[in-house]
A and B are shown apart, each in its own frame.
Chain A
């Protein structure tokens, strides 16, 4: 026959067990409460018009564009600005390169420098060539591209913007 459990040990075990349950019941919701904004998925996408193709006639010239997205964060509407460059590679209206102007190092905005023929990042002195490849500086990879774009019937260039 096994040892009968003593009253003291039974009380101890019960207190630990109930204490554990109570801690979990309070602790888990607390953590979820604190991390709530990080646990939300912010997926969403939209077609954003960025300009008429007829306004970008020259082949090989980077045309800058920018657009603003508004999102509700908590109790406030937050506007964030995005931008990039459209480069026509040939007469074919669909032969476009759309570069994101967000530097792939630490997210500063790059500018087109006509004289040097590069996109320069002012933050840590980086450069990207017309294809977005890194020419010098710390960025780990080429400029991002907007891969999904379309030209509407009235000749407006639109890009697919993905949130999150």
Chain B
């Protein structure tokens, strides 16, 4: 019964072939370090889901951002859990993505034909850090406020364009409602869209080239 149903679907969708190509790929001898990319992906999805859940209550306005976070933590059922997972997941993701990059470096997997995979990876690392930077401001408490003052100030020290970057980041010369709003937009729309595209390309290249072998003595 189910088999006939799935066969019917598969005849039209062809997911079975896709499944074989995408997930049933040959891997070099298993190595736990090679799971870190998938771990990054899982964390990205987890951040996406918990983030969507948070926007159900969070409001990005200087008047209410802090109150809405307090509400999530103290009043909403399981709010502390959803925010906790998003908060610690963010830190963990930076860590995991970074170690993933280290393993790719150590195993020399960035070489031909995987240079593009590496370059896209660099984009993903920067985007991940950008998520951390923009997300940190959103609770609008003392710590996040001053961290963003300092962070944008650092960007402002770049020669020539620094002053302009500072104003573009803050949406003006001061840290204001405009800053909070644009950090929010970047955090939930711009960077997730960019990362989805980059991850798609990253994964395409990984499937295309297959997993690299760890270098041997005479490589």
Interface residues, chain A, CB within 8 Å of chain B? 29-30, 32-34, 36, 39, 74-76
Known: A29-B78, A32-B77, A33-B78. A76 touches B64 (CB 8 A): yes
**CA of A30 to CA of B81, assembled, Å:** 10
CB contacts (< 8 Å) of B76 on chain A: these are 33, 36
| A77 → chain B closest CB, angstroms | 11
Contact A29:B81 (CB < 8 A) given known A74-B57, A75-B64, A76-B64: yes
Q: Which residues of B contact A30 (CB under 8 A)?
A: 53, 78
- Give the complex CA separation of A45 and B7 in angstroms: 60
With an 8 Å Cβ cutoff, the count of chain B residues facing the other chain is 16
CA–CA, A29 to B84, complex, Å?
14
Q: What is the bound-complex CA distance between A29 and B82, given in angstroms?
A: 9
Chain B positions near chain A (C-beta within 8 angstroms): 53, 56-57, 59, 64, 67-68, 70-71, 75-79, 81-82
A-B contact pairs, 28 of them (CB 8 A): A29-B77, A29-B81, A30-B53, A30-B78, A32-B77, A32-B78, A33-B56, A33-B76, A33-B77, A33-B78, A33-B79, A33-B81, A34-B53, A34-B56, A36-B75, A36-B76, A36-B77, A39-B77, A74-B57, A74-B71, A74-B75, A75-B64, A75-B67, A75-B68, A75-B70, A75-B71, A76-B64, A76-B67
State the CA gap A39–B77 with chains docked (Å).
Answer: 10
Give CA–CA (A76, B71) in the complex, Å. 10
A33 touches B71 (CB 8 A): no
Q: Which residue of A lies closest to B81 (CB)?
A: A29
Among residues of B, the one whose C-beta sits closest to the C-beta of A39 is B77
